[in-house]
Amino acid sequence: MLPPQTDRVGFDFFPLEQGLFRIYDVEQIDFTLISSDTNHFQLKEAVVDSFLNVESAYTYILHRLTRDNDSVEWSLDSVWTTRKTSSFAVVVENNVPIIKLVFPIVNDKKWDGNSLNNKTEEPFRITDISVPLVLPDTSFTQTVAVVQSDKDNLIIQDERREVYVKGIGLAHKDFVVLNFCARDDCLGQGIIESGQILRFNLIEHGKE
């Protein structure tokens, strides 16, 4: 069971309840050495079911659906799971558990986002509590940002950041992972050899 005073601890930034959904406008840019490909689409994350896990708490099933625009039907893209304990919130993305938030929410709090999987340590950090998030069609003031990576050098740009809103959950995501040419004849010229940029902006949320 989660302890009381959820508002003070920050559980409300990661709500989990069957029927909740969020819809995002997504921009995705994929890079290769010779070209880039840009796609715009919508993504819906919907909590469709739950089950009692081995820790005697609930794990929630998250359907991720996509569509080109709001004039076409949703198509199931993937199924993830998510859960929340008294100390952290985790999302299992393509069978990889990632700790998205830790509780209580405190500015500059740090943790290893990959501590529940076998990947390289990823130092996540809480920042920008209650800094207004301004999106194209709306804005929020009760926010918390998580910096997942802020690497930027001559050969790689790995900058990943998520912003959560109280009572809603994830509202904005910036994912920039680019690999630059590192040969002597092109080092430092910013020539992208591979990588991806993903940007999510929340456009709708509610309960079905």
Among all chains, which residue has been given the structure tokens 């199931």?
76
Torsion angle (degrees, nearest 10) of CA 137, 143, 148, 154 = 60
Alpha-carbon distance of 90 to 40, in angstroms, equals 27
Environment class of 62 (CB within 10 Å of its CB; exposed 0-12, middle 13-18, buried 19+): buried
Residue 7 pLDDT: 60
> What are the residue ranges spanned by the domains of the chain?
22-207
Q: Do residues 62 and 47 lie in contact, with contact meaning Cβ atoms separated by under 8 Å? A: yes
Q: What is the H or E stretch that residue 12 is in?
A: none
Each residue's pLDDT, cut to its tens digit, for the chain (208 residues) gives: 444 445 668 999 999 999 999 999 999 999 998 899 999 999 999 999 999 988 888 999 999 999 999 999 999 999 999 999 999 999 999 999 999 999 999 999 999 999 999 999 999 999 999 999 999 989 999 999 999 999 999 999 999 999 999 999 999 999 999 999 999 888 988 899 999 999 999 999 999 9
